[in-house]
Chain A
Amino acid sequence: MNWILTPLEVRPDHRNRIGPKAYALSLLAREGFNIPDTLFLTVEGYNEFVNAAGLRERILLELNRKKFKDMRWEEIWDCATRIRHIFLKKQITGPLQSYLTEKIQSHFSGKALAIRSSAPDEDASGSSFAGLHESFVNVRGTSSILDHIRLVWTSLWSDAALLYRQEIGLDVEKSAMAVVLQETVTGDRSGVVFSQNPNDETQVMIESVYGLNQGLVDGIIEPDRWVLDRDKKTVLSHKPAQREHWMIPSEHGVEMASLPEDLAGRPPLSSEEALGICDLAYRAEALFKAPQDVEWTIKNDTMCVLQSRPITTLSPGQTEDKRAWYLSLHRSVGNLTALRTTIEETLIPEMIKTAKDLMEQDITVLSDGELADEVRRRWKINQHWVNTYWEEFIPYAHGVRLFGQYYNDAMRPDDPYEFMNLLTQTKMVSLERNQMMEELASMVREDRQLFERLKAGEPLGPDLEFGEKVNQFIEKFGDLSCAVTGGIECATDTRPLFKLLLEMAVNPSSWSSRKKPKDALALQQRFLERFQGPKRKEAEELLDLARSSYRLRDDDNIYLGKIEAQMLSAVKEAKSRVECSERRGTHKSELDDLKSVIHDLDYGNRKRELTVSSNEYGFKVNPRQLVGQPAGPGLSRGKARVIRHHLDLQDFKSAEILVCDSVDPNMTFVIPLAAGVIERRGGMLIHGAIIAREYGLPCVTGIPDATFLIQTGDDVTVDGFLGIVTISQKDR
């Protein structure tokens, strides 16, 4: 099999074998454009690899755990992570390895290569895949080159690529990938030219940076920008950049470095050179008969074309597809580090202060009119923080994913989630809360009189130490009354808290005796030992970022919950005044405002009822074994406690299996009592999974209709290794 083609060997009927990017390069080469020394690895090479390694069905098994449309993005990320890991663990072997080794060594003679994706289905869709598949620059050594070819192949199955293919209607199961192998040209200046400015068809636009193109393409180095008149071929404007950095080749790949002062002071292109690049764009446009986006680099004043692709323009009325959004799910280290500073130094302290200020305000002294205004004000405050949560906190969760990929690339562990062991056992607010509950439960356990008083629902009595500790707990975390009810009808006292404390007192948590994750310290040492010099620092920083991201994934909800609780306390006061007035049969006009604010904000109507479909007479459906995502390793069996409403939480008994739609951190105080966790919402990084791992509990997430199919009292087995839940039918 001819798995490799040179640009001049390519014929029109090879287009589907090498993909559009490679095909365009072959045409450029034929037309005399200066392109780097290049070989194309055809899709047959990819197919040979996946078939020989038995990967095709493994990939499809992963993708078919459940319907793709039913998967949340986080589940798709998990799925993509597992597929990527399969590619990482399988070497290119046999005839393909011998063939590629011989071709690479004889053709490139040890030169560093750029390895780029070229997927044929990009052609079929007519859509832009720019940025969705991976490319690597400056890869040296045959073994490393083969390794990076696999990484390019696996980018076919990244979460962003999967979502995008799904959106534009491509058959994911038929996807394949060709690869462009190019000599790395270490240009001193690089850039991109749009033969037609996407925002103005009368213009040409050029962006240029010093060094290699990666910083510009990845959006981390600001380029100088020239706009030219398409017809007159004159420079209309030049917008200089803050030239501070450039991308240069490093030992393995590329790195960002400070730009030398003499370069920082002058633009990377002269006006004449900009006009020359404009000419290049015109020639490419003439060749491909469509406006082009051309990547180029200049080395020692010689221009080299790296790739040319059509500019994807939108027809009138056509809205932007979601490619940009899918790409935005992946954040760079720089972006996440900046986000971390904002979150840790500004947003979290502000949230804590906001909750404290609201708590200290005595709303009982407000007039009815003032209270209505206060409810509105608190609603706005809460809404502001909910928005902040989505815009700042959710993207920050990507820090864990970024680290996961970095760790897996470096360590190639058997378990693609081994990296989580470095993140667990961190100090989280929910764990601190649960620890405090354990201490309170311990006091109840040791004091029989206190135990009996709580059980009988009597006042606390003279036990000052316990009362004081309860007050400290309530001050810090609330009395769980709102958490237990989901904030709809906060209980009027500390009953929910005491009920749980009694259960914990009778059934001490076996958390401490449960199996701990691998020794995180030893694992950390092994991980960091893989790196030297600046790479070591990068690994340390990324680990630190991931730990912060992991911790905040949970903590932010606790803080958000505190603000929401204060909003709800104002709503509760408003409702109580309205009800009181209605009972007395009195009417005050100020109350109309209170009624209206309660109605407008729609409190009291937020309960979600599950629709249970009835079975036809004589037939009955029962689940036996449900497949989800493995989210916490381990195996456990117990009675299910299905949480359909938050109130169900207060009945939670020790050693039960928590079954819920989605755990939020304000619910996780029952986890120390649980023997396992089953959640409808899927993903390794959702709160239920995070807290389950902290306690070493088996956890399966992403079971569609979990709270509908499983009933409280069912005997269930949670297989956290395989992501399978088995339901015993004995009691049905």
Chain B
Amino acid sequence: MTHYKAIKKQIRELLINQKLGVLSTHHSGQPYASLIAFVGKEDLREIYFVTPRTTRKFENLSVDSRVAILINSSLNMDSDFHEAVSVTALGNAGEMNGAEKDEILGLYLTKHPYLEVFATSPTCAVVGVTIKTYVMVRNFQHVMELHIDQ
């Protein structure tokens, strides 16, 4: 398997298997990290999450859409150091609307059915992050990047 195919496969598996990630935004240069339940698109080009519009993260990304999302397979065990794979996705976030929003919401609730009440609340926004780059770390320090032309 080429590097390219292996990397895409590992990122795709991580997006499918992991439920939670850490979203990074900022407020006037002050970084802010928050836990999100996400779903990734099969073609790796977008990642989606749901958040109330009153949250700091939504406020922050409304001012600056540039975000980073960390997703990893660690189990909080020693073996994570040699076994876990971690991906940082870099991209731009924006609220989804209309038919596209409904389609994404369906995808989101298939992965997170327990969040139905939360996700369908009129106070929540469905946020899509268009990914420019994935930075994948494995074997503790081995780092490869996958760049996506949008």
Contacts and interface: CB of A to CB of B under 8 A. Distances in A.
Interface of A: 56-57, 60-61, 63-66, 613, 615-616, 618-627, 705, 709, 722, 724, 729
Categorize the interface residue count of chain B: 20 to 34
Contacts of B83: 64
B146 A621 contact: yes
B141 A627 contact: yes
Contacts of B146: 619-621
A615 B148 CA distance: 11
Given A622-B147, A624-B135, A709 B4 contact: no
B97 interface: no
A724 B3 contact: no
Nearest to A628: B142
> Among A615, A620, A621, A623, which residue has the most Cβ atoms of chain B within 10 A?
A621
Describe A's contact surface by its main secondary structure: mixed
B7 interface: yes
A618 B81 CA distance: 32
A622 B82 contact: no
A683 to B, nearest CB: 18
Contact of B148 (A56, A618, A724): A618
B143 A621 contact: no
B4 A619 contact: yes
A310 B79 CA distance: 36
Given A57-B78, A613-B5, A705-B3, 11 more contacts: A64-B139, A65-B139, A613-B2, A618-B148, A619-B4, A619-B147, A619-B148, A620-B146, A625-B137, A625-B143, A627-B140
A56 B149 contact: no
B145 A66 contact: no
A626 B136 CA distance: 12
Contacts of B140: 61, 64-65, 627
B144 interface: yes
A418 to B, nearest CB: 24
B145 A729 contact: yes
Interface of B is mostly: mixed
A462 B40 CA distance: 74
A64 to B, nearest CB: 4
A70 B145 CA distance: 22
A616 B148 CA distance: 10
Nearest to A618: B149
B53 interface: no
Interface string B15-58: 00000000000000000000000000000000000000000000
Contact of B79 (A57, A616, A618, A705): A57
B3 A722 contact: no
A61 B140 CA distance: 8
Given A60-B79, A61-B82, A623 B148 contact: no
Contacts of B141: 625, 627, 722, 724
B101 interface: no
A623 B8 CA distance: 14
The 10 nearest A-B residue pairs measured at CB = A625-B143, A613-B2, A57-B78, A64-B82, A624-B143, A620-B147, A622-B145, A627-B142, A621-B4, A618-B149
A234 B86 CA distance: 69
B100 to A, nearest CB: 20
A722 B140 CA distance: 12
22 contacts: A57-B78, A57-B82, A61-B140, A63-B82, A64-B140, A65-B140, A613-B3, A616-B4, A618-B148, A618-B149, A619-B8, A619-B148, A620-B147, A621-B3, A621-B144, A622-B145, A623-B143, A623-B145, A624-B135, A625-B142, A627-B140, A627-B142
Nearest to A57: B78
